[in-house]
Amino acid sequence: MNILVCISKTPDTTAKIAFVEGNTKFDENGVQWIINPYDEWYSLVRAIELKEKNPNVIIHLITVGGADTEPIIRKALALGGDEAIRVNNTSNDSMVVAQEIAAVAKGGAYDMILTGKETIDYNSASIGSMLCALLDTTFIPNAISLDVNGNTAIVKREIEGGEETCETNIPFILSCQKGMAEQRIPNMRGIMAARTKPLKVLEATIHNETTSIQQFDIPPAKSGVKLVDPSNMDELVRLLKEEAKVI
Amino acid sequence: MVLIYIDQDEQEIKKASFEAISYGAALAKQLGTHAEGILLGTVKESVEALGKYGVSIVHQVTNSGLNNFDASVHATVVTEAAKKLGATVIVFAHNINGKAIAPAVAVKLNAGLVAGACALPKTDAGFVVTKTVFSGKAFASIKIETPIKVISVNQNSFGVIVGEGNATLENLDLPVPASKIKITSIDKIKGEVPLTEASLVVSGGRGLKGPENWGILLDLAKALGASTACSRPVSDADWRPHHEHVGQTGIQIAPNLYIAIGISGAIQHLAGVNRSKTIVVINKDPEAPFFKAADYGVIGDAFEVVPALTAAILKSKAGA
Ligand SMILES: Cc1cc2nc3c(=O)[nH]c(=O)nc-3n(C[C@H](O)[C@H](O)[C@H](O)COP(=O)(O)OP(=O)(O)OC[C@H]3O[C@@H](n4cnc5c(N)ncnc54)[C@H](O)[C@@H]3O)c2cc1C
């Protein structure tokens, strides 16, 4: 069984968010990069768990990005990916990224493609759904559990106000979120092994962007907190009613 | 024409759709055109009543197979509808279903997508939409370069605009592909407003010390008619269910009022709630970082402050 896990590089959750070049570029100065938490903690670790149960599973990793994504891909290999592909395209347009992944997936006969629910930088939650259209394959979003039985997958997914359990056959695409698996730390053996695992670089083939980022802005800071005396909750209720007008 | 996807669940139109329609109608006005809706499946309530949010026509594909959500099938039908009706902009709510189909529709229509818009586009020079990025820590203005555009609108960012009028209901006959997903069970927490739709949210952190102490928070939520949320360590420790976890790795919400009780305000937590209109922080530590992101703060012991706040709310409601 071949699983393709999509890996994205994102700034660490505590990274300072600032912009340069007239607010048109993210300021990468001093930023620590991580694997997008949804990709790492949920899709990748669940793929590894499936492999632990079934040695016939091969975990393929794909990332679309420049050479600076390689440490991230090596970490994903250290966690338990078997081999990796990097498509050398630095576009920020999800449509371009999805088309690059689809081009690889078309040639790969993958039984399942796993993505994270969204990336923590652009928060578009788009790649899984775009792959669904590009590959004409079933897509189940917001998956919180996945079990595979022969050709059938049993998936639980979050819906508004609850959960839904469903079944589908391979091939399929899932976007994964909390519940799917638990975060793991790579061990020394994994880190050593990752150095020699195959990492293939493919040149970019998609160049038509459908969107372009014009500018970034930082939201204005709150004007300052108004402190209310803990013994005067009537005053807080009054402020919420009359000043904030929210209750 | 601006086409708005009307999302339903168990034959009830989702609240997020009212906001999507309001946004689509305002956008149509800005572009000098009109707004129409597309509804898949059948619903129990009046579809005509959606006119008051600004759609003149609602097209309905009344195939009951569409009452079960399948991203692939729904995206195909919405795409065919958009083509047949000649839509130039397609608007979705950026909720679970909207996120799952808007990108697929964008692919099928060769359209540029902005997922998670938080304001109307600027259309004086091109078509530029602002969205939140870095989990709410920044905004990006994104230009859509294609003739057809797809937008999903962040929940609680534009608001619901209620006007007058009824929409005309028109049946739309489109082929519906067979779903390859078999839904075996649906588990819903009955009678609770989903967090992403809630306008009032009361949230608790590790400062409440243990699940046995949640009573004071639940009483406050009940007095307000609010939904409940929690910080990540609280759901990790199973003090509260996972679906209540808000933050960068949980759900992102933007209610009118967010009351944070015994939550320190870590950057990852703030990322999920900083779009809330009004934030109240109750914490015994005056140095808690959350106070910097708050509108109103109470420095005090939650075990005393929260019951007092509940009492004050009940008193105010009884008096009103
Ligand atoms: C990659 C990553 C992703 C993360 N994602 C998330 C996320 O999505 N959501 C999230 O919430 N966290 C997330 N975290 C964790 C986050 O960093 C914090 O650890 C977490 O938010 C802290 O939760 P807390 O505020 O409940 O607990 P604490 O930080 O322990 O704060 C408890 C607070 O309660 C106050 N307190 C104690 N007793 C009382 C009392 N009697 N009355 C009033 N106040 C009291 C204390 O002063 C303190 O401020 C993430 C972390 C990482 C590394």
Q: HEC profile for chain B?
A: CEEEEECEECCEECHHHHHHHHHHHHHHHHHCCCEEEEEECCCCCCCHHHHHHCCCEEEEECCHHHHCCCHHHHHHHHHHHHHHHCCCEEEEECCHHHHHHHHHHHHHCCCEEEEEECCCCECCCCCEEEEEEHHHCEEEEEEECCCCEEEEECCCCCCCCCCCCCCEEEECCCCCCCCCCEEEEEEECCCCCCHHHCCEEEEECHHHCCHHHCHHHHHHHHHHCCEEEECHHHHHCCCCCHHHEECCCCECCCCCEEEEECCCCCHHHHHHHCCCCEEEEEECCCCCHHHHHCCEEEECCHHHHHHHHHHHHHHHHHHC
**Do both B160 and B84 map to the same domain?**
yes
User: Which amino acid appears at position B294 of this protein?
Assistant: A
Q: Which of B137, B269, B270 to mutate to test the pocket of ligand 1 (most atoms within 8 A of CB)?
A: B269
Please check whether residue B240 touches A, CB under 8 A.
no
Residues of chain A found within 8 Å of residue B104, distances taken between Cβ atoms: 129-130, 132-133, 139
Q: Residue B320 — pLDDT band, cuts 50, 70, 90?
A: low
Q: Residue B268 — pLDDT band, cuts 50, 70, 90?
A: very high
Task: Report, as an integer, the average pLDDT of B306-310.
Answer: 98
* Helix, strand, coil shares, percent, chain A, to 5: 30, 30, 40
Please check whether residue B317 touches A, CB under 8 A.
no
pLDDT tens digits, one per residue of A32-61: 999 999 999 999 999 999 999 999 999 999
Task: List B residues 64-83 in contact with A (Cβ-Cβ < 8 A).
Answer: 69-72, 75
Measured in Å, residue B205 CA sits from the centre of ligand 1 at 6
- Which of A42, A120, A129 to mutate to test binding with chain B, by most B CBs within 10 Å of its CB? A129
Q: What is the pLDDT of residue B188?
A: 86
**Do both B302 and B161 map to the same domain?**
no
> Domains in chain B: how many in total?
2
For residue B102, what are the domain limits? 2-171
Q: Ligand 1 within 6 A of B141 CB?
A: no
The residue contributing the CA closest to ligand 1 atom 16 is: B266
Task: Report, as an integer, the average pLDDT of B213-241.
Answer: 97
Q: Ligand 1 within 6 A of B207 CB?
A: yes
pLDDT tens digits, one per residue of B30-83: 999 999 999 999 999 999 999 999 999 999 999 988 999 999 999 999 999 999
Q: Residue B183 — pLDDT band, cuts 50, 70, 90?
A: very high
- Please state which of the ranges A213-222, B257-266, B293-302 shows the lowest mean pLDDT: A213-222
Nearest to A244 among B108, B182, B295 (CB): B295
Q: Give A244's DSSP letter.
A: S
User: Which amino acid appears at position A7 of this protein?
Assistant: I
Instruction: Evaluate whether residue B193 is within a structural domain.
Output: no
ipTM above 0.85, yes or no: yes
**Do both B97 and B134 map to the same domain?**
yes
The CATH number given to whatever domain includes residue B271 is 3.40.50.1220
Residue recorded with tokens 């540029």: B112
Q: Ligand 1 within 6 A of B151 CB?
A: no
- Quote the CA–CA distance of B254 and B249 in Å, as a whole number: 15
Residue A115 has pLDDT above 80, yes or no: yes
**Do both B150 and B39 map to the same domain?**
yes
**Do both B130 and B209 map to the same domain?**
no
**Do both B136 and B220 map to the same domain?**
no
Q: What is the pLDDT of residue A161?
A: 84
Q: Residue B193 — pLDDT band, cuts 50, 70, 90?
A: confident
- Quote the CA–CA distance of B120 and B263 in Å, as a whole number: 34
With CA atoms as reference, the chain B residue closest to A25 would be B140
Q: Ligand 1 within 6 A of B252 CB?
A: no
Superfamily of domain A2-218: HUPs (3.40.50.620)
- Give chain A's mean pLDDT: 96
With CA atoms as reference, the chain A residue closest to B250 would be A178
Domain boundary among B150, B171, B192: B171
Instruction: Evaluate whether residue B189 is within a structural domain.
Output: no
pTM score above 0.80: yes
Please check whether residue B46 touches A, CB under 8 A.
no
Measured in Å, residue B88 CA sits from the centre of ligand 1 at 45
How many Cβ atoms sit within 10 Å of the Cβ of residue A13?
18
The CATH number given to whatever domain includes residue B83 is 3.40.50.620
Instruction: Evaluate whether residue B25 is within a structural domain.
Output: yes
- Quote the CA–CA distance of A116 and B246 in Å, as a whole number: 17
Q: What is the pLDDT of residue A160?
A: 87
Closest ligand 1 atom to Cα of B250: 8
